[in-house]
Structure 1
Amino acid sequence: MTTWFITGCSTGLGRALAETVLAAGHDAAVTARDPRTLDDLVAAHPDHALALPLDVTDAAQVRSAVDRTLERFGAVDVAVNNAGYGYRAAVEEGDPADVARLFATNVTGAVDVMKAVLPGMRARRRGTVVNISSIGAQVCPPGSGYYAASKAALEALTASARTELAPLGITAMSVEPGGFRTDFAGRSLTQSPSAIEDYAGTAGKRRKEVDRAHGTQPGDPARAAAAIMAAVAAGRPPALLLLGTDALEAAEGVLDARRAELEAWRELSAGTDLDG
């Protein structure tokens, strides 16, 4: 039995992961901005579930939530940074305040959780950090530049942390889901308040009022949760776990395109070294 600390458990992948972890008999601190949305989880698993209020943009609340988890369960073995949301806008359309809130949630909030749980993991010389990213970090679709940038930043931080933590018996993993039947493309998706007509054919096609993807995604959140738990249980999970056939196909396309471009420009790239 391990103790999990999971952010963003009110809906979607976070909710599915909380249900899966608790059903397997593990302890779990399940968090949401409104913990009343988690009452049924606690009622179903009173000995193993701890529901906590958490807005990850509030660093003091992050520390408090982790402290209460330690008081109840004694340790955090697996920390999952799932809380986050989408934002759509052409790069030129992005509202500075909106973008700042996006990064505060998707990047800084996850880092604050890591900083809160890692001292205990270092002391015990074991633990796992799971940061939920998106295939968008690789694909970078038009209209999702800011969201993709936030997830790419989280992945870069996770990759560096993985190397830093490995000698201490701790591992860190990024997870890139494709499209899953969650609320991501519904309530959890925001966008710039204004649209520029020149981007109607690119970023404009992904605005909420014209996007029909919600409810048609191929991925099953319950199976995604089971895959994450299996990867963690493997002892040394991959640095990057892709979820969904759409994510696999997209990642393969990105890799092929990058390799082709690297080879096309190899001579120019290699010609910048000092002679001798």
Structure 2
Amino acid sequence: MSYVDRYPVQADEINVQHYPATENNASQRLFVLIHGFMSSAYSYQALIPELRFYGQVVTFDLPGFGRSKKTLRYRYSYAQYAKTVHAILQPYVSEKTEVIPVGHSMGGQIALRLPKIMPRPPKKIVLLGSSGGIARLPYWVRAATYLPFFSTWLRRYIRKHDVRNILHEVIYDASIITNEHVYAYEKPLQEKAMYQSLTKFIRHREGDLTKTELADIHVPILLLWGEADRVVPLNVGEKLVRALPSATILTYPEIGHLLPEEMPKETAKAIQSFTEA
């Protein structure tokens, strides 16, 4: 399986993970988990066992992140990511499959683009602390990515920041942070190729969907938000829910940005209630 486009990727270049539903669940529902910026499928590791009670689960490391290929042939844009997600799903989808995209942070912007490109658009979408309202980077920043050694500078800049300290910013209750978390989020940062891909992402990334574009998405959407989110504050979610024609938002006190890690059972139950309503 491959996505034939100007910027193709092969299936074996993407770290795709498929989890069948638990034996007592015959649902045709397929949850598609799309991770956020500088993250990977690992961010869903606590949520996956909970969601499998309600359907199948597919997740993956987006090209350029996690254990997926860091190829310079790829166009690192939201539009291309959405096309890649659609291609990844093909082996798991039949005429009876109910696809439910679940996008965390940047993954929310990718999930919101799927109804426009899927022949059978998803009937519902879930956004977890989704990004919103971020404009495309200024021209001078994008132009700087063509400079020699830009990716080297980017690597040095990012590596200055301690991953454990970053996780303290992302997760409200720091007591749940383990050495495994730190290792999982730090390991991809050690790859030189990731910074080359990230350089292209800075160059190619569009702005987030505009109010006009959001108003044209008529799929029912559930937004879940941590009230203590310091990465994507609650006011972003409030703006999104006002801009989307058929959206509701649930908020949770003392929860930060990484809802799938901080409250996996509650997140899974909220998603299940929404999809079965």
User: Do these two structures clear the TM 0.5 threshold for a shared fold by scoring above it?
Assistant: no
TM-score of the aligned structures, taking structure 1 as reference length: 0.38
Structure with the bigger percentage of helix: 1
Task: Choose 1 or 2 for highest CA Rg.
Answer: 1
